[in-house]
Amino acid sequence: MPGGTQQGELNLLSSMSESSSSDIASRPTPTIQPAEGKLGILIPGMGAVTTTFIAGIEAIKQGMAKPIGSMTQMNTIRLGKRTDNNTPKIKDFVPLAKIEDLEFGGWDIFEENCYEAALHAGVLDKPLVESLREPLSKIKPMPAVFDSNYVKRIHGPNLKPKGSKMDHAEMLMDDIRNFKERTGSSRLAMIWCGSTEVFHRPAPVHNTLRDFECGLQKSDPEISPSQIYAYAALRMGIPHANGAPHLTTDTPALMQLARDRNVPIAGKDFKTGQTFMKTLIAPGLKSRMLGVAGWFSTNILGNRDGEVLDDPGSFKSKEESKLSALEQILQPDLYPELYEHIHHKVRIEYYPPRGDAKEGWDNIDIFGWLGYPMQIKINFLCRDSILAAPLVLDIMLFMDLAQRAGMRGVQEWLSFFFKAPMTAPGLYPEHDIFIQSMKLKNTLRWMKGENLITHLGLEYYD
């Protein structure tokens, strides 16, 4: 948590830049290249989220399901005044890749194809997976770049041959070229859906691209597998998003590579179950100036993700990402009487009988007028991968759009999808889901040269 003064300065900086929204609005509207041909989605990690995502897309392609939970497919965007009644679907407003034009490829340390991995993950009903056996069986994971210092508790045989970290990056680039040729994809985008790597902070090797490339040659232990995949993607001009909380592109070196190659990057950590709930509820409590004395969150989870998160190093990555949202939303530096002493605790317990059907409990101790205490209890019986799968789709379609619109570097407008949104260095992330949603939709309006919507609304009363 930044100290009071620093946070205050950052708030001021942020409010200055956002109050001058006319500057942003007056930036020239980008030219968006059409979404012609196929979009190949490359995924390191073919576990529960990936197989639920791919199976869902195949089911949608065959007319067996609707894309529920997907903003790009179902949400609308208001254009102009409320009285204009002009609210097209987002997918009809901006030129996105079509579901039928998606191709999938990925890597995993296990050899199971996507059909087998979906059965193993146990998220989807067996008859549904059986009915998709043919397209899913064709998707076989390529051998992974893996390091058991970064992901403990799991071991698999499907690994790249020994070599330096630069050799591994080159092998991944070969995989990508072969995938593109094999599928006839005209564009590619990558999203990390692999296990959460252990917590680590940026090291000297992440300072500049030069340092990073030397580090790859020397197999510097501070470079993680997820960073090798990201490096391969960015070197080839492929947008990269990170669905897990570890660093990956959130380092000066890889941000520089993304800018140099004009490639969009985004992350980190899909905002799905408990943090999704937090970013819905906390902004409401704050807007009413209700105090929060404590927020205790615990989860039981029994899938492979839960098994990896049972390792303290991986849990530390997740914990940092989960804790940050609440602190940024409540802004204790601005409201010390309400939030300075909040006791925020997050626990994840690996409990195999539950599989992917996670259960989360939140106990929120709040206080109101005259300091009188009250409590809120939330019991969220969610399905992690069912919540994450549509985010994978939306993030990939928007990253491809950003690429075609010439938007490079960190795509903060996609914060809506992430627990720990990446931002420009020194800028605090926006966690409030309502602000994130407005930011996202205004970015789409800006891309298409439409007026931004401020919700001022005085014109209706002139």
Ligand X SMILES: NC(=O)c1ccc[n+]([C@@H]2O[C@H](COP(=O)([O-])OP(=O)(O)OC[C@H]3O[C@@H](n4cnc5c(N)ncnc54)[C@H](O)[C@@H]3O)[C@@H](O)[C@H]2O)c1
Contact footprint for ligand X (CB under 6 A): 44-50, 107-110, 121, 144-146, 151, 154, 156, 193-196, 225, 243-244, 269-270, 272-273, 303-305, 308, 384-385, 387-388
Between 242 and 251, whose beta carbon lies closer to ligand X? 242
Query: Given strand 264-266, what is the order of strands in its sheet?
Result: 142-143, 102-108, 38-44, 185-192, 240-242, 264-266, 409-410
Between 108 and 311, whose beta carbon lies closer to ligand X? 108
CB of residue 277 to ligand X, shortest distance in Å = 12
Bridge partners (DSSP) of residue 378 are 362
CB of residue 196 to ligand X, shortest distance in Å = 4
Map residue 224 onto helix, strand or coil: coil
CB of residue 383 to ligand X, shortest distance in Å = 8
Nearest-CB residue for ligand X: 47
Between 72 and 195, whose beta carbon lies closer to ligand X? 195
Q: In the structure encoding, which two tokens stand for residue 346, read together?
A: 């997050």
- In three state form, how does the secondary structure of 9-26 look? HHHHHHHHHHHCHHHHHC
CB of residue 388 to ligand X, shortest distance in Å = 4
Q: In the structure encoding, which two tokens stand for residue 277, read together?
A: 């709930």
Distances (CA, A) of 396 to 41, 102, 461: 7, 10, 41
Between 98 and 155, whose beta carbon lies closer to ligand X? 155
CB of residue 205 to ligand X, shortest distance in Å = 18
Between 384 and 432, whose beta carbon lies closer to ligand X? 384
Between 93 and 107, whose beta carbon lies closer to ligand X? 107
HSE, CB side, 13 Å, CA atoms: give it for residue 462.
5
Map residue 355 onto helix, strand or coil: coil
Asked if 445 and 291 touch (Cβ cutoff 8 Å), the reply is: no
CB of residue 199 to ligand X, shortest distance in Å = 13
Bridge partners (DSSP) of residue 297 are 346, 362
